[in-house]
Amino acid sequence: MTGLPAAGQARTEITGRFGLRRFAQSAGLLSLTSVASFARAVITAKLFAVTLGPSLVGVLAQIFNFSAFVSVIIPLGLTTGVARMVALKSGDEAGVGRTVATASVLALASAVLAAALLVPAAVPISIGLTGSSRYTIAVILIIASFPLFNLSGVLAYVLQGLADIRRLTTANIASAALAVVTLIPLTLAYGINGAMAAVLVSSVAQAIVFTWSLWRAFAARAWRFVQLRIDKRVARELLEYGGILLMGGIISWGAVLTVRTITLHTVGSSANGMYQVVFGLSTQYITVFMTWMAAYVFPRIVSEAAQGKLGQLLNSGLRANLAIMVPVLVIAVALRDPLIRIFYSSTFLAAGPLIPLQVVGDYARIVGWSFAVCLFAIGRTRSHLAVIASQSIVWVALAALLIPVWGLTAVPVAYSLSYLTYPLLGIALVRHWVGVLPDRWAVMLILVGLLCVVGAYAPMFAGVLLVPIVPVAVYLLNRHELRKA
């Protein structure tokens, strides 16, 4: 079994700061799952673009957004809470067994109940999402996939809580590969219905893979599945901890689904399909960013918050995030047309001018979340929710006002304007509760990073020349500070 060092245990890191090298190594290891998902997304996007075309891609995006929204609700917040409880009892076979059994039963029960309620409403759901009842079968197929996907999600967080990164990563990669192998022939043969049937088959395969991986993890510890027990107290703790995460997820994905629905009904499914290119690219690299923020940065903040060095930790984390993410954003802007051709098709090149508009919002999100991530860690759950809710409300409001006037361009514009709430409100709340602000070097790097992101729009792919600027600046700054220390 391999895993990362526990937060705060790395001797090569100074308390109160993130070492750039270890930060990059941890981000890379924790991002392997996201890389596998990204590869699957690339193949999927290319398949859909070539097979279905912009209009049907827009319809498919609506169904997937509906699935994502429901998939936030039905886990009942059984995500980080499961990993936390398993980690606290990692040496207790009976304790872990109770958590696994209780969380699994809750996950299956909530998903089965959701499916039972949603299947009879498949026709109005199809009409509401796409404006047509022709996609009712597709809606039913994806609803049927909820129970086993929900179970797999719980098992994945159990593996994370056990720090079994190798098995977790292997299971995710295997699941992604099986999903692609299933998706290609079914989509080519049956179009959208085939794609949704592939999702259902993938849910079965993923549940098998994660059950096998967890069984192997138990066997490695000489534990037995017969120790699994349902515990009402554990259920209550899991649901209480998951409540905040559930509310945040509902708000975020509810905003996505609302904006995409407004887009489809106002400017058409073809335009919605064009925006899927922008949203899909954005989602992939933001998912990687959020993965290491949750699994590496958050635990360090929790462990060191009481030591009085939270300001240093947040500022060093912000620098490291800028060093890693600014090059990604610059490449996304500078090479937007080649990326569209590679990952989608030339039919979607009209989405190219929208990508820089979206990327500016993602940059604001990265800057703001580098600080706002600490709000949940220090117990300010209402402030945590306020940051998430404010962005969602602003995005929906601006989209509803601007789309009828500006058309599709209004969607990424509203997105970017809404994410200004992350650095503005997020950092203001961190200052209020902790008394911490970005230091002068962080402010300088934020401005340099913004110039690089905007400058990446230069013609003839010249923007790629800006890729090394922020990483080099952060590296030199870190070396200077380490020498002084």
pLDDT in tens, 200-217: 999 999 999 999 999 999
Q: Is the pLDDT of residue 5 over 60?
A: no
- Tell me what percent of the residues of the chain surpass a pLDDT of 70: 88
pLDDT value at residue 295: 64
The burial class, CB within 10 Å (0-12 / 13-18 / 19+), for 402 is middle
Residues 432 and 458 occupy one common structural domain: yes
> Which of 20-29, 298-307, 406-415 is predicted most confidently?
406-415
Are 297 and 310 members of one domain? yes
Q: How far is CA 223 from the centre of its chain?
A: 32
SS (H, E, C) 65-112: HHHHHHHHHCCCCCCHHHHHHHHHCCCCHHHHHHHHHHHHHHHHHHHH
Where does a domain end: 247, 281, 309?
A: 247
How many distinct structural domains can be found in the chain? 2
Q: Are residues 298 and 172 in the same domain?
A: no
Q: Residue 3 above 60 pLDDT? A: no
Does one domain contain both 385 and 437? yes
Whether the predicted pLDDT of 1 surpasses 60: no
Point out the domain boundary residue: 193, 217, 247.
247
**Which distant-in-sequence residues (6+ apart) come within 8 Å of 161 by Cβ?**
82, 83, 84, 85, 86, 87, 90, 96
Q: Is residue 37 part of a domain?
A: yes
- Of the pLDDT bands very low, low, confident and very high (cuts 50, 70, 90), residue 29 is low
**Do residues 81 and 196 share a domain?**
yes
On whether both 312 and 453 belong to a single domain, the answer is yes
Domain boundaries, position 295: 11-48+268-485
d(CA 451, CA 453): 6
Q: Given this model, what pLDDT does residue 114 score?
A: 93
So what's the pLDDT on residue 480? 73
Residues 281, 237, single domain; the answer is no
Q: Which residues contact 87 (CB under 8 A, 6 or more apart)?
A: 161, 162, 163
21 and 66 share a domain?
no
Residue 262 lies in a domain: no
Are residues 237 and 282 both part of a single domain?
Answer: no
Nearest to 196 by CA among 21, 66, 289, 85: 66
Its pTM stands at 0.72
Residue with tokens 């620098």: 319
How much is the pLDDT for 291? 74
Classify residue 231: in a domain, yes or no. Answer: yes
> What residues contact residue 472 under an 8 Å CB cut-off, 6+ apart?
none
pLDDT for 280: 87
Q: Beta-carbon neighbour count of residue 265 at 10 Å?
A: 15
Could you give the CA distance from residue 432 to residue 429 in angstroms, rounded to a whole number?
5
pLDDT computed for residue 167 by the predictor:
84
Is 412 within the bounds of a domain? yes
According to the model, what pLDDT value does residue 44 have? 79
Same domain, 345 and 424: yes
**454 Cβ partners below 8 Å, 6+ apart?**
356, 360
Q: Which of 198, 214, 247 is the last residue of a domain?
A: 247
Spatial CB neighbours of 82, under 8 Å, sequence gap ≥ 6: 99, 103, 154, 157, 158, 161, 238
Are residue 223 and residue 336 in the same domain, yes or no? no
Alpha carbons 263 and 396: distance in angstroms, whole number: 11
Query: Is 70 exceeded by the pLDDT of residue 241?
Result: no
User: Tens digit of pLDDT for each residue in 70-115?
Assistant: 887 888 877 766 776 776 676 778 888 888 889 999 999 999 999 9
Mean pLDDT across the stretch 342-361?
Answer: 90
Closest C-alpha among 66, 141, 79 to residue 107: 79
Tens-digit pLDDT profile for residues 366-403? 999 999 988 877 778 789 889 999 999 999 999 999 99
Distance CA 3, CA 25 (A): 12
Query: Is the confidence at residue 9, as pLDDT, over 50?
Result: no
Q: Which residues contact 184 (CB under 8 A, 6 or more apart)?
A: 43, 47
**Residue 3 falls inside a structural domain:** no
pLDDT at residue 308 is higher than 70: no
CB contact burial 308-337 (16+ within 10 A = b; e otherwise): eebbbbbbbbbbbbbbbbbbbbbbbbbbbe
Tokens of 21: 């090298």
Residues 299 and 401 occupy one common structural domain: yes
Structure confidence by residue, pLDDT tens digits, 68-82:
888 878 888 777 667
pLDDT on residue 30: 60
Cα–Cα distances (Å) from 397 to 7, 117, 414, 420, 426, in that order, read 39, 30, 8, 14, 20
Residue 456: predicted pLDDT: 95
pLDDT digits (tens, 9 = 90+) for 418-470: 999 999 999 999 999 989 999 999 999 999 999 999 999 998 899 999 999 99
Instruction: State residue 316's pLDDT score.
Output: 87
Candidates 137, 66, 158, 146; CA nearest to 111 is 146
Residue 430's H or E segment, with its range, is helix 427-434
Report yes or no on 257 lying in a domain.
Answer: no
In this predicted structure, the answer to whether residue 407 has a pLDDT above a threshold of 90 is: yes
Residue 64 CA to residue 59 CA, distance in Å, equals 9
Q: Would you say residue 252 lies in a domain?
A: no
Kindly state whether residue 255 falls inside one of the protein's structural domains: no
Look at residue 54 in the predicted model and tell me its pLDDT. Answer: 75
Out of 187-191, 227-231, 415-419, 467-471, which region has the weakest mean confidence (pLDDT)?
227-231
